[in-house]
Structure 1
Amino acid sequence: MKYNKLDGFEIELGTVFKLACCDCGLVHNIAIAKENNDKIGFALERNNKATAQLRRHNFGYLQQGVLNYTMNKLR
């Protein structure tokens, strides 16, 4: 399987950002921190409000929408 190498991105330490699953629409808040001994840690917390908003506007379960669109297009 061939993979495309994409450009990376940088995040300031201590910044909290949101990450949503493209399959189920579940949203998490993610924070990344660097400790004094140069170890990197991260914390995840489920964001129920953002998840509900995403799913309410039909952006949750994105894979199912793509599959239905593809099947209808092929018919």
Structure 2
Amino acid sequence: MLLNLIIFITSIIIISIIFRWIFTVIKSTFLTLVSIIIVLTLLKLTFDVDDQELSIKIQSLLKILQDFYK
């Protein structure tokens, strides 16, 4: 009986730790996504940057980063 209680309590603790971790990951992902959307919207509104220009700049930046880390 005591062993069942210990197993139950530890499983509750482990499940709560996992849920906290999942919540933290989802929250940080959401905040990052919102930040990216805000930055892109500001770029479009302030500097009148269109989607094509932005995608070309991002691709060139990614290429530079790839070359740097090779």
Normalising by structure 1, report the TM-score: 0.29
User: Counting strand residues as a fraction of each chain, which structure ranks higher?
Assistant: 1
User: Counting helix residues as a fraction of each chain, which structure ranks higher?
Assistant: 2
Normalising by structure 2, report the TM-score: 0.31
Between Structure 1 and Structure 2, whose CA radius of gyration is higher?
2
